[in-house]
Amino acid sequence: MTVQTVPQLVTLPATAPIEDIFAVLRRDGTIVLSEFATDEEIEALNAKAKQHFDRTESEGREHDNYNKNKNFRPKGTTGAYGLFSAAPEELSKLFGGSDGRVPDPHYMGLVGRREGHTDQQLVGYKVSPGSRLQALHRDLNSCGVQRTGPETPPNGVSTFIAGCDTTERNGATRVCPGSHLWPQDRHPTQADTAPIVMQKGSLGIFLSNCFHGAGANACEPDDPDALRIIYGIFCCQDNTALYFEPEVLKKMTPKTLRLLGYYKGRTGGGGYLGRDPVDQWEPLQGYTGGEWFPNTE
């Protein structure tokens, strides 16, 4: 009789050696880094994100493009967009600060394309009780990249911060460890998944060619842990250039501006008039490397 092996996720401290983190990512395609952000940093982010969640809910979730596809984002999930502009200093510290908390996915050849033009956005997700399982999917597909098999490298890395304790009961994202190495004709089932259980402030990471999807929130509305809140950095689905005043951009580090797409890639993609947008775009003339968290590069 064949015994079904329950998939397991590896959790390492955020201070673990970079070689250990990438060894797990190469093998499993996913990992959790604990104690990535402090309670104070998360509370500040939650406070600034609240108005964005409230606006989405007051305008109606049906206006969210992903909610128009009723088979993709479950009812009861609220997406808050443009959060980099809501808390630029706090997020610059987490994603572009001198401590370099988020590893560069191109390091050690983890991501196949070393283009360097990233153009990312930060989206907050609030998942309410009663929200159902999301269809398992690969983020690779949203970028128009056709995977042919395990030889197709990931085109990106999805990362998300836990804005609260995420548990299997309140709908922790489910991921298929190792699915980045599956043959193309293998289809995922829920039996292949493991919940990305995280304490508040942890960082979840998975490669863009790993199957994943939101879990079902089985909590009662009066449960103190009923709402699940996470903040995800993904390949750009919004026009990030419209979120920021140039005065704010000038305060960011080059690392943060590169994340947002203001430097062209190594192969030339993402350029403006053939050069880095940070050098050519008139509103950014005079940029000297930022005021927040200097000396990062």
**pLDDT digits 0-9 by tens, 119-168:** 456 778 888 999 899 999 988 766 556 677 787 777 677 888 999 999 99
The pLDDT, as a whole number, for residue 215 is 93
pLDDT in tens, the chain (297 residues): 455 576 789 999 998 998 899 899 989 999 999 999 999 999 988 998 888 888 888 876 555 544 445 556 677 888 887 777 777 777 777 766 544 456 554 444 454 444 444 445 677 888 899 989 999 998 876 655 667 778 777 767 788 899 999 999 999 999 999 999 999 899 999 999 999 999 999 999 998 889 999 999 999 988 988 888 988 876 545 556 666 788 888 888 887 787 777 887 665 667 776 778 888 888 888 888 877 765 444
| Beta carbons of 73 and 67 less than 8 angstroms apart | yes
Give the structural domain span for 238. Answer: 11-243
Query: ∠ CA 199-203-207 to the nearest 5 degrees?
Result: 135
Residue 284 forms part of a structural domain: no
- Relative to beta strand 77-80, strand 120-127 is antiparallel
In-domain check, residue 207: yes
User: What are the angstrom distances between the C-alpha of 156 and each of 5, 69, 212, 226, 279?
Assistant: 28, 24, 14, 31, 25
* Region class of 262: left (phi > 0), else alpha (psi between -120 and 50), else beta: alpha
Considering the domain boundaries, does residue 55 fall inside one?
A: yes
User: Is the pTM of the predicted complex or chain greater than 0.85?
Assistant: no
Please report, for the domain that includes residue 15, its CATH number: 2.60.120.620
Q: Is 282 helix (H, G, I), strand (E, B) or coil?
A: helix
- Identify whether the C-beta of residue 43 lies closer than 8 Å to the C-beta of residue 202: no
Could you tell me if residue 254 is inside a domain?
no
Overall number of domains in the chain: 1
262 is a domain residue: no
57, 78 Cβ separation under 8 angstroms: yes
Any domain includes 234: yes
Q: In this structure, is residue 54 part of a structural domain?
A: yes
User: Does 257 reside within a domain?
Assistant: no
